[in-house]
Structure 1
Amino acid sequence: MATLNITYNGMSADLPMELDGHVADVDVRRIAVEVVRSGGMPGMHLAHLRDDAFQNYVVDRFRGPSGDERIYLRPKVPFGA
């Protein structure tokens, strides 16, 4: 089990997902567009979201204490290295 967290336009939401192995960053962005458009992301439904809405977003991956994968899709920030 994995959790996809999307931060977009000041909103943030989590979606538990079943994944079959590693999912490429480009596919994470595509999946995010599809679930946000369809209303499948709890608390975040934007039916007219552009195809490239997450093109310049960062995909971060972490393992939780129980080993579950957490995938964060977030905007790039203007600070840090």
Structure 2
Amino acid sequence: MDRHQSSGNPSAQRRTGRIVVHGEFGPLLSAALPECEIAVAWGKTHITAKVRDDAELFGLLGRLRDLGAAFVSVSIEP
């Protein structure tokens, strides 16, 4: 199957993106990013999201930047 074709299972094509930012964003971030899992620990906010492609990941990063987030790390599982 060509990698651009759909396998019929959308969740199979998503990858897990993990982003850590400085500060404890809490409810503001949860409201702004309802599709993400948010956890706060030791002065940092950990965001986990399922993304289809790089464009969706960069869109998420842009939304975080617009909220004033200072990135600590960004990773994506293949």
Higher relative contact order (CA 8 A, sep 6+): 2
